[in-house]
Amino acid sequence: MCETNSCSICLDLLKDPVTIPCEHSFCMNCIKTFWDEEDQRHVHSCPQCRQTFIPRPDLVKNIMLAALVEELKETGLQAAAADHCYAGAEDVACDFCTGRKLKALKTCLDCPASHSSYCEKHLQPHYESATFEQHKLAEASKKLQDNICSGHSKVREVFCRTDQQCICYLCAMDEHKGHDTVSAAAERTERQRELEGGRQQIQQRIQDREKDVKVLQQEVEAISRSADKAVEHSEKIFTELIRLLEKSRSDVKQQIRSQQETEVSRVKELQQKLEQEITELKRKDAGLEQLSHTEDPTQFLLNYPSVSALSQSTHSSSINIRPLRYFEDVTAAVSEVREKLKEALSETWTNVLMKLAEVDVLLSPAEPKTRDGFLKYSHEITLDPNTANTYLLLSEGNRKATLMSKQQSYPSHPDRFTGWCQVLSRETLTGRCYWEVEWTGRRVGVAVAYKDISRTGGSKECGFGCKDGH
């Protein structure tokens, strides 16, 4: 309980406490200020119990209560003032507290002051006075005002099925007269059944989707394992191919260098022998030149045989060289290998890409073929009274529409079809949906339309199926 030694006007510990005739106590300045404001009415009342006094009572300090307050101050109990009783941002404040307001506990639905809310102190007269005996109290709530009819200041305890809104009993006898009305409690019971059915469907779908999620998670793990294994194997294969190519490259290089060394050695050996022969020929040529300058015939003839005789050449007079290609044939052969590898890789790579493209885990859902298959996508459709043409009569529960010869007394609504005998469903259709319609008579039209379809007049834009997208 909140601090009993506090002033119900300022909500602080009493200062110069005074007790008025109804035995409620206040700070002297607080009650003086309160009564000063009431002076012009010549009637003064208790801020707590609303008892009136004529004339204005004299105020006398309550010595005993003042001493008790001083004792509380000295013992430090003032710090125990009940801050938790003050109204916060999320609370309903007492309408009769002045200064810092206390939390309201109850709201009176019958008080003339527009459903006033009362804290514990200001609520006491409702429990103590016979005047308030018939008043109806409700738990104080910020949302309570939404339950009050703004036109009649009465609780909205009636539901108008025609207009799909909560109204008070005075509205039901006035602007909603003749409408299909039930108690809000009865409508809630029916909607509760619908809600429970909807929840069961949702919970079943949640279970189904959770199973699907689990299956998909297993697929993700299987896909990842398979992909990791494929990558690992392909890496090994490509590594082996690279190793084979590296070995082939090394072998070709080694063979080229070895053949190069052999051929260069043979050419240099022949070159050396030819150079020796040239040296010998030059020496012979020098001896013949010297002999050619000998004037003495005898000496010339004596030396001629030894100088003029040439040793037999061991080499042919000309060197046979193959066409200047050297290792170009090897390059051509390697290039041929390259082209064949490229061709083979191109063919096999196309095959690899085709195999990759064939990896498709999720199968497209098959189109339903039977009624049972379609019923998996069934939706319960209810009709929206706010859209119904005035020549259409909707049944209880808004599941059936009947074409009438006389206009129905529907209230004006911007969503209503005025020219075409049509009505929309309350539910928004998304994804794959299926529903069945029973009908009698010459003909009936069933269509899917966007919510922005025109409603006013008899133009084609308002008719089902008469405009693209509708």
* Residue 76, pLDDT above cutoff 60: no
- Confidence class for position 307, pLDDT limits 50, 70, 90: low
What pTM did the predictor assign?
A: 0.38
Q: Cα–Cα distance between 322 and 329 in angstroms, integer?
A: 13
State the DSSP string of 135-169.
PPEEE--GGGGGGB-TTT--B--EEETTTTEEE-H
Rounded Cα distance between 379 and 429, Å, is 9
Once rounded to an integer, what is the mean pLDDT over residues 308-328?
Answer: 64
Q: Is the pLDDT of residue 449 over 50?
A: yes
In sequence order, the β-bridge partners of residue 25 are: 19
pLDDT band for position 80 (cuts 50, 70, 90): very low
- The model's confidence at residue 364, banded by pLDDT at 50, 70 and 90, is low
User: What does the mean pLDDT of the chain come to?
Assistant: 84
pLDDT at 41: 75
Q: Kindly tell me if the per-residue pLDDT of 456 is higher than 80.
A: yes
pLDDT of residue 408: 92
Question: What value, to the nearest 5°, has the Cα angle with vertex 391 and ends 388 and 392?
Answer: 50
The answer to whether residues 148 and 166 touch, using CB atoms and an 8 Å cutoff, is: no
| pLDDT tens-place string over residues 393-413 | 998 889 999 999 899 988 889
Mean pLDDT of 358-382: 79
Res. 78: pLDDT tops 50: no
- Parallel/antiparallel/unpaired status of strands 158-160 and 165-167: antiparallel
Tokens standing for 3? 């601090």
The pair of structure tokens assigned to 390 is 């005035």
Residue pair 381/424 in contact by the 8 Å Cβ criterion? no
Residues in the chain: 470
Q: What is the pLDDT of residue 306?
A: 73
How far apart (Å, rounded) are the C-alpha atoms in residues 161 and 393? 13
Distance CA 202, CA 276 (A): 108
Q: What is the residue-wise DSSP string for 168-230?
A: -HHHHHTTTTTS-EEEHHHHHHHHHHHHHHHHHHHHHHHHHHHHHHHHHHHHHHHHHHHHHHH
Cα 427 to the chain's mean position, in Å? 22
394 in Cβ contact with 385 (< 8 Å): yes
Mean pLDDT computed over 347-358: 80
- Count CB-CB contacts under 10 A for residue 251: 10
Q: What is the pLDDT of residues 1-40, one digit of tens each?
A: 344 577 888 877 888 899 998 888 889 999 898 888 887 7
Name the more confident of 442 and 60: 60
The CA distance from 175 to 410, in Å, is: 11
Distance CA 231, CA 281 (A): 74
Taking the alpha carbons at both ends of the chain, their separation in whole angstroms is: 64
Identify any residues that bridge with 192 across adjacent strands, giving them in sequence order.
none
